[in-house]
Amino acid sequence: MIFYHGSKHVVSNPIAHGSNRENDYGASFYTTQDFESAKEWACKNNEVGLVNKYQIRSDDFKSLTTLDLTNKDEYNILNWIAILMHFRNLDLKFKQLFSSRLKWLEKFYIDVNQFDIVKGFRAGDAYFAFPQAFIMGQLSLERLQKVFVLGNLEIQYAFMSEKSISKIKFISSKEIEQSYIGKYYSRIKTATEEYRNILNEPINDNETFIRDLMNKYE
């Protein structure tokens, strides 16, 4: 199995808890299996970056415990939102205004540190506005799911444990073409435009907002 990590640096020895704690799934080593996505991420600061390539044996990967948040049979988008809200540094006013909703969401939280790997959507700073809009009651659950489908949000793999990191073999590091500078923000722009269009669509009676879910799952 091949994984990629976009960065400004060569990362030949990844660290299990080396990233910012406020990332989507906390401090871990974030990767993707999508080479194009990794190239966009590597150049997201408007400068040429590098994509680091890694390999892990399929048997080794299967031996690791994985929280697959993309598995709709076991988890739903509320699990994902609860994890995001747990790790992100939320604005104080936002926390005060929506404290009861944030508290309610905690029942859907899953302790990601119980797993070696977390597989799930990548929110990113710009995409994080969409789950916030859901909590504020501006966006229904159905529209939130639709936004992420249309925004072509990529899947990431967060290597959480020392055990998972030990299974990774560094293969190479490649400098990315200058043509990828700006593509990361182009993806965000597309998602934001779709979000605005969806937000302005007439509300129908079948939509589910957070207040409805709170009444249903008290």
- Report the C-alpha gap between 53 and 139 in whole angstroms: 38
List, in sequence order, every beta strand (DSSP E) within the chain: 2-7, 29-31, 50-55, 66-68, 117-121, 155-159, 169-175
Position 126 scores a pLDDT of: 62
Position 125 scores a pLDDT of: 61
**pLDDT tens per residue across all 218 residues of the chain:** 999 999 988 999 998 876 667 788 888 999 999 998 899 888 887 788 899 999 999 999 999 999 999 888 999 889 999 999 999 888 899 999 999 999 999 999 999 999 999 998 877 666 777 888 899 998 899 888 877 665 556 789 999 999 999 999 999 999 988 888 877 777 777 777 777 787 788 888 889 999 999 988 76
Residues 6+ apart with CB under 8 A from 130: 139, 144, 147, 148, 195
Residue 95 and residue 38 in contact, taking contact as beta carbons nearer than 8 Å: no
Sign, CA dihedral 26-31-34-39, equals positive
Indicate the number of domains in the chain.
Answer: 1
In the structure, how many helices (H) and strands (E) does the chain have? 11, 7
- Report the C-alpha gap between 100 and 86 in whole angstroms: 14
Residue 40 and residue 184 in contact, taking contact as beta carbons nearer than 8 Å: yes
The parent domain of residue 73 ranges over 2-216
- Report the C-alpha gap between 189 and 187 in whole angstroms: 5
